[in-house]
């Protein structure tokens, strides 16, 4: 039996997984990746604008990210935004293209990034558990209001737990893959 609560919960948990994937995409693993710049905002005529809306971003030679602004006059503001961000790579500007050379990661930096991934993972697991708690509360209210029989409420709560377990497992798998990616030399 699929309740509206279950449908809403599944949608919330899917969004949480997508947010985690986005978060992991911003953690660099020694290779150039356009998503490294997803959190960088450039002050473009007074509006904080994502870099990918102002420039073409491409990976060349595996470890070099090239940023080609559509408006050449914005190249210095893009460069400044990248320098001030937490990307941790100094941009090189040749007047028409900005290059980010991703340095190989040291063992210490790899461990630091793996910890960051693990910490992000834990916060997303907490979000999943909070969603579970909210769904269980809704089911209990429905039972109290007489909308659900006691047996149906128990089944609904069991289903919520199964969904929670499934999404927690997905988070753990994504985290293990990201940590493996970070620790690869």
Summarize pLDDT for 106-162 with one digit per residue, the tens. Answer: 888 888 888 989 999 999 999 999 999 999 999 999 999 988 899 999 999 999 999
Q: Give the pLDDT confidence score for residue 30 in this predicted structure.
A: 67
Which band of pLDDT confidence, cut at 50, 70 and 90, is reported for residue 15? Answer: very high
Give yes or no for residue 29 having a pLDDT over 70. no
**CA 117, 123, 127, 132 torsion-angle sign:** positive
Domain 4-28+106-184, CATH number (from 3.30.70.2740, 1.10.10.10, 1.10.132.20, 1.20.120.1810)? 1.10.132.20
| Architecture of the domain delimited by 34-101 | 2-Layer Sandwich (3.30)
Residues 6+ apart with CB under 8 A from 151: none
Task: Map tokens 């914005």 to a residue.
Answer: 74
Mind listing the pLDDT tens digit for each residue in 102-120? 877 788 888 888 898 999 9
Give domain limits for the chain. 4-28+106-184, 34-101
Predicted structure pTM score: 0.70
């Amino acid at each position: 039996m699929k309740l509206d609560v279950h449908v809403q919960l599944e949608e919330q948990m899917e969004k949480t997984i997508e947010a985690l994937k986005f978060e992991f995409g911003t953690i660099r693993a020694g290779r150039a990746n356009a998503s490294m710049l997803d959190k960088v905002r450039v002050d473009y005529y007074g509006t904080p604008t994502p870099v990918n809306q102002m420039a073409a971003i491409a990976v060349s030679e595996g470890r070099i990210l090239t940023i080609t602004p559509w408006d050449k006059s914005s190249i210095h503001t893009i460069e400044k935004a990248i320098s001030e961000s937490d990307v941790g790579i100094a941009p090189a500007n040749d007047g028409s293209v900005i290059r980010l050379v991703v340095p190989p990661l040291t063992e210490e930096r790899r461990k630091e990034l793996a910890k960051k991934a693990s910490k992000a993972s834990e916060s997303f697991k907490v979000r999943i558990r909070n969603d579970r708690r909210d769904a269980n509360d809704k089911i209990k209210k429905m039972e109290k209001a007489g909308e659900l029989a006691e047996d149906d409420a128990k089944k609904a709560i069991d289903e919520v737990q199964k969904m929670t377990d499934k999404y927690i497992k997905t988070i753990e798998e994504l985290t293990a893959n990201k940590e493996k990616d970070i620790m690869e030399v």
